[in-house]
């Protein structure tokens, strides 16, 4: 009886519009699996932009902890009550660490507390009752002063205070734990000399004890959890344009980001000064989140690492400075050494460094990107040399080459022509464009040459306004446009092996670029509608594409991609209705078997295409889960206006 009813509703749905809905019909050929999908197809792209690392994922709460910013007191201010008498100075004689030579000297006459205040990254976020680990390198110069470390709220309430004492004439590490009595997003850290004396201080640090996996000096747990929930197949890092640097001496150099954090030299972040309309003069890279931590993060969240290396060119949007061809070997050597760092035995130089940092097992690196958004002959010349050396030494490593910043301009065509001739493995295409571009290009890969390089759609996002505009919003319309496009990527999963949205994080108080996948403040984070689109695809991948015959019968902007999961015998449909009316569709899972033993729907939509999430309503636009009462492989389903629906079926014969 149930089966009969399902059949009747299937037929009716093909003929009738439900409540004004438009009609569509689709047949999924469940017994004809086509292209094998990359199980790691849907990934993430992390770049230190929008305070993504320092002030974001890297949980350090003190800005400029080593006094290495060019303005060495940036982030710090003097605290000198009226009775206090003292002096602050920045010095570099006999430093704690030669790689980060500057430190702070506090001389106090002891008439009152005297010292400095750190403002954090747009404030310091602390939770009531949680533990915060303070540490610093301290050297006594003279006197017998103690040190007071205090957390204050933005309106001047003391949240906790601890005292350190017994300092030596040599640099020594000192630590204490603070337990703020209230939750505060914009706290300040006071470091005050108590009594008469002179102290030298460096690497002044405050970390929540509760980091991701409670690792000391680790990553913000809520932010990593958001990444883990995506179940990303891979992670591309560390950029983006910061790989290139505005000039070559400001490029990202992975070797300077490993080992003890105090030995990692601070570097200006190119997003500090890139946009005149969004200047961020206090944006520097501490590299506390460096390459070892990136590899560890990938391992933690089950993502394959995809490091991107500088190819010998500074950002071609900036200076475009070119490393001389005869000097390129140093850049290529960095790539060879990185492979050894990630995969080499512990008795090799770089494998040994990995082991010394705590990871004797290899990180299982399988891919490296040569360059970010690079183009024209200077890039091709350099890529050619990288490829020749790396393929000889490490044929097991797949190389990702750049197609430049645009999905369809002369630079793109030039890159593809040359890289095809070079038999490149994978080409990284980027696209930031209006939602229409994404809706209109869902068939982009249908006719790509299957015998040439594979595609990595490495950076993309729909822009509600225009590229680089501060008015771009993470709204439902953009998310649905991306979802429509992703059905095209998945249908062409034999050619498009990987894809990642960009950028990943943005701090509401310190961003340069929008839209972004996840927004954070000092205490909270929320996923955008775009985040949920990524999650719905990455959590429901399938192992092979299934052919679909789709009759949209007038339904505008209606897209589908079907996959199967062989083992448990599942069929997964991702259906995008990008139109403004619901679509009532008849579906036929042909050749699948006789009975559907379970069916579920996950639906992402909202009342308006302009709807967004926020800290106050973090799940206003989030998928709704439901079980479907379907037993026959022929059935009807209504797809709401402006929606992405993932349907999952278990079939029994
Ligand atoms: O995602 C922001 C920037 O956009 C990246 O750094 C760059 O690769 C692209 O132009």
Can you state the angle between helices 328-343 and 291-301, rounded to 10 degrees? 40
Say how many Å lie between the CA of residue 466 and the centre of ligand 1. 14
Report which of 466, 464, 506 is spatially closest to residue 482, judged by C-alpha positions: 464
Given a cut of 80, whether residue 111 has pLDDT beyond it is yes
Same domain, 631 and 492: no
Q: Whose CA is nearest to atom 5 of ligand 1?
A: 240
Question: Of the residues 44, 251, 430, which should be mutated to test ligand 1's pocket, given the most ligand atoms within 8 Å of the CB?
Answer: 430
pLDDT-based confidence at residue 3 (cuts at 50, 70, 90): very low
Same domain, 126 and 190: yes
For residue 66, is it within any domain?
Answer: no
Q: Where are the beta strands (DSSP E) in 570-633?
A: 570-577, 583-590, 595-604, 624-627
Q: What is the mean pLDDT of residues 6-14?
A: 38
pLDDT digits (tens, 9 = 90+) for 591-648: 887 789 999 999 999 999 999 999 999 999 999 999 999 999 999 999 999 999 999 9
Question: Of the residues 45, 47, 407, which should be mutated to test ligand 1's pocket, given the most ligand atoms within 8 Å of the CB?
Answer: 47
Same domain, 164 and 226: no
What pLDDT score was predicted for residue 17? Answer: 38
Kindly report the CATH number assigned to the domain that includes residue 197: 2.60.120.260
The boundaries of the domain holding residue 22 are 2-35+543-652
Choose one of 185, 208, 231: the last residue of a domain: 208
Choose one of 515, 538, 561: the last residue of a domain: 538
Q: Whose CA is nearest to atom 7 of ligand 1?
A: 240
Same domain, 447 and 510: yes
Question: Of the residues 244, 472, 502, 517, which should be mutated to test ligand 1's pocket, given the most ligand atoms within 8 Å of the CB?
Answer: 502
Q: Whose CA is nearest to atom 1 of ligand 1?
A: 503
Strand partners, 574: 561, 646
* Rounded-to-integer distance, Cα 241 and Cα 317, Å: 9
Say how many Å lie between the CA of residue 49 and the centre of ligand 1. 9
pLDDT digits (tens, 9 = 90+) for 183-218: 999 999 999 999 999 999 999 999 999 999 999 999
Residues with CB under 6 A from ligand 1: 47, 49, 239-241, 372-373, 405, 459, 502-503, 513
For residue 214, is it within any domain?
Answer: no
Say how many Å lie between the CA of residue 241 and the centre of ligand 1. 6
Asked if 373 is an active-site residue, the reply is yes
What pLDDT score was predicted for residue 377? Answer: 98
* Rounded-to-integer distance, Cα 299 and Cα 289, Å: 15
Kindly report the CATH number assigned to the domain that includes residue 566: 2.60.40.1180
Residue 108: φ, ψ to 5°: -130, 140
Same domain, 517 and 560: no
Instruction: Quote the mean pLDDT of the chain.
Output: 95
pLDDT digits (tens, 9 = 90+) for 283-335: 999 999 999 999 999 999 999 999 999 999 999 999 999 999 999 999 999 99
For residue 65, is it within any domain?
Answer: no
What pLDDT score was predicted for residue 20? Answer: 57
For residue 71, is it within any domain?
Answer: no
Kindly report the CATH number assigned to the domain that includes residue 328: 3.20.20.80
Q: Provide the token pair at 146.
A: 């103690």
Say how many Å lie between the CA of residue 179 and the centre of ligand 1. 39
Say how many Å lie between the CA of residue 399 and the centre of ligand 1. 20
Q: Whose CA is nearest to atom 6 of ligand 1?
A: 240
Same domain, 325 and 434: yes
Q: Which residues in 361-387 are b (16+ Cβ under 10 Å) and which e?
A: ebbebebbbbbbbbbbebbbbbbbbbb
Strand partners, 208: 132
Same domain, 331 and 298: yes
What pLDDT score was predicted for residue 568? Answer: 80
Same domain, 315 and 273: yes
Question: Of the residues 48, 237, 240, 517, which should be mutated to test ligand 1's pocket, given the most ligand atoms within 8 Å of the CB?
Answer: 240
pLDDT digits (tens, 9 = 90+) for 401-455: 999 999 999 999 999 999 999 999 999 999 999 999 999 999 999 999 999 999 9
- CA 477 → CA 8, 163, 289, 577, 599, distances in Å? 34, 53, 34, 11, 27
Choose one of 168, 186, 208: the last residue of a domain: 208
pLDDT digits (tens, 9 = 90+) for 138-154: 999 999 999 999 999 99
Yes or no: say if 114 and 82 are a contact pair by the CB < 8 Å rule: no
Given a cut of 60, whether residue 12 has pLDDT beyond it is no
Given a cut of 60, whether residue 2 has pLDDT beyond it is no
pLDDT digits (tens, 9 = 90+) for 485-521: 999 999 999 999 999 999 999 999 999 999 999 999 9
pLDDT digits (tens, 9 = 90+) for 153-172: 999 999 999 999 999 999 99
Same domain, 121 and 146: yes
Q: Provide the token pair at 241.
A: 């344009």
Given a cut of 90, whether residue 347 has pLDDT beyond it is yes
pLDDT digits (tens, 9 = 90+) for 480-493: 999 999 999 999 99
Same domain, 137 and 242: no
Say how many Å lie between the CA of residue 599 and the centre of ligand 1. 40
Strand partners, 506: 519
Q: Provide the token pair at 305.
A: 């690492």
Q: Provide the token pair at 475.
A: 């709204």
Given a cut of 60, whether residue 13 has pLDDT beyond it is no
Say how many Å lie between the CA of residue 374 and the centre of ligand 1. 11
Same domain, 127 and 223: no
For residue 458, is it within any domain?
Answer: yes
Same domain, 319 and 443: yes
For residue 490, is it within any domain?
Answer: yes
Say how many Å lie between the CA of residue 535 and the centre of ligand 1. 21
Q: What is the DSSP string of 444-484?
A: TTTTS-TTS-EEEEEEEEE-SS-TT-TT----HHHHHHHHH
pLDDT digits (tens, 9 = 90+) for 220-240: 999 999 999 999 999 999 999
Catalytic residue among 373, 459, 482, 495: 373
Q: Under DSSP, is residue 560 helix (H, G, I), strand (E, B) or coil?
A: strand
What domain count does the chain have?
3
């Amino acid at each position: 009886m149930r089966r009969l009813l399902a059949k009747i509703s299937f037929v009716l749905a093909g003929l009738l519009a439900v409540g004004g809905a438009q009609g569509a019909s689709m047949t999924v050929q469940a017994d004809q699996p086509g292209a094998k999908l990359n199980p790691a197809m849907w990934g993430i792209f992390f770049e230190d932009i929008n305070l993504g690392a320092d002030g974001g994922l890297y949980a350090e709460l003190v800005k400029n902890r080593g006094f290495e910013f060019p303005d060495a007191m940036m982030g710090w201010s003097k605290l000198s009550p009226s009775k206090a008498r003292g002096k602050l100075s920045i010095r570099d004689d006999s430093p704690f660490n030669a790689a980060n030579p500057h430190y702070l000297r506090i001389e106090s006459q002891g008439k009152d507390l005297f010292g400095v205040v750190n403002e954090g990254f747009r404030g310091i976020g602390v939770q009531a009752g949680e533990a915060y680990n303070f540490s610093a390198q301290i050297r006594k110069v003279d006197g017998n002063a103690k040190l007071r470390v205090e957390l204050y709220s933005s309106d001047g309430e003391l949240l906790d205070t601890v005292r350190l004492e017994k300092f030596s004439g040599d640099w020594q590490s000192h630590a204490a734990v603070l337990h703020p009595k209230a939750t505060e997003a914009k706290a300040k850290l006071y470091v005050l000399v108590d009594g008469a004396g002179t102290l030298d201080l460096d690497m002044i640090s405050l970390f929540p004890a509760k980091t991701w996996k409670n690792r000391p000096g680790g990553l913000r747990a809520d932010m990593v959890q958001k990444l883990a929930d995506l179940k990303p197949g891979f992670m591309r890092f560390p950029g983006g344009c910061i790989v290139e640097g505005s000039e070559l001496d400001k490029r990202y150099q992975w070797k300077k980001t490993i080992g003890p954090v105090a030995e990692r030299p601070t570097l200006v972040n190119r997003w500090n000064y890139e946009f005149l309309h969004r200047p961020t003069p206090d944006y520097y890279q501490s590299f506390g989140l460096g390459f070892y931590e990136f590899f560890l993060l990938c391992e933690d969240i089950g993502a394959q690492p995809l490091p991107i290396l500088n190819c010998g060119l500074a950002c071609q949007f900036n200076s475009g400075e070119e490393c001389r061809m005869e000097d390129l070997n140093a850049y290529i050597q960095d790539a060879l050494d990185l492979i050894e760092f990630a995969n080499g035995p512990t008795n090799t130089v770089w494998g040994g460094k990995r082991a010394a940092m705590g990871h004797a097992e290899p990180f299982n690196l399988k891919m490296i990107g040569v360059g970010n958004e690079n183009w024209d002959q200077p890039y091709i010349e350099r890529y050619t040399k990288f490829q020749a050396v790396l393929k000889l030494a490490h044929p097991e490593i797949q190389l990702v080459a750049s197609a430049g910043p645009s999905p369809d301009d002369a630079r793109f065509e030039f890159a593809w022509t040359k890289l095809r001739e070079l038999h490149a493995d994978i080409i990284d295409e980027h696209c930031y464009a209006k939602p229409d571009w994404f809706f209109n290009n869902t068939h982009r890969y249908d006719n790509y040459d299957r015998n040439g390089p594979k595609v990595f759609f490495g950076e993309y996002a729909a822009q509600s306004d225009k590229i680089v505009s501060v008015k771009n919003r993470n709204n439902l319309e953009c998310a649905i446009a991306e979802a429509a496009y992703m059905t095209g990527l998945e249908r062409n999963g034999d050619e498009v092996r990987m894809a990642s949205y960009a950028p990943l994080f943005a701090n509401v108080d310190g961003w340069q670029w929008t839209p972004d996948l996840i927004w954070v403040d000092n205490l909270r984070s929320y996923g955008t509608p775009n985040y949920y689109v990524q999650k719905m695809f990455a959590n429901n991948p399938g192992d092979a594409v299934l052919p679909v015959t789709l009759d949209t019968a007038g339904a505008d902007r209606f897209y589908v991609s079907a996959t199967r999961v062989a083992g448990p015998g599942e069929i997964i449909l991702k259906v995008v209705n990008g139109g403004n009316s619901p679509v009532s569709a008849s579906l036929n899972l042909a050749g699948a078997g006789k009975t559907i033993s379970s069916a579920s729907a996950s639906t992402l939509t909202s009342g308006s295409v302009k709807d967004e999430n926020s800290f106050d309503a973090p799940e206003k636009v989030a998928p709704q889960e439901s079980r479907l009462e379907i037993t026959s492989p022929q059935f009807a389903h209504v797809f709401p206006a402006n929606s992405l629906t993932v349907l999952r079926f278990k079939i029994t014969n």
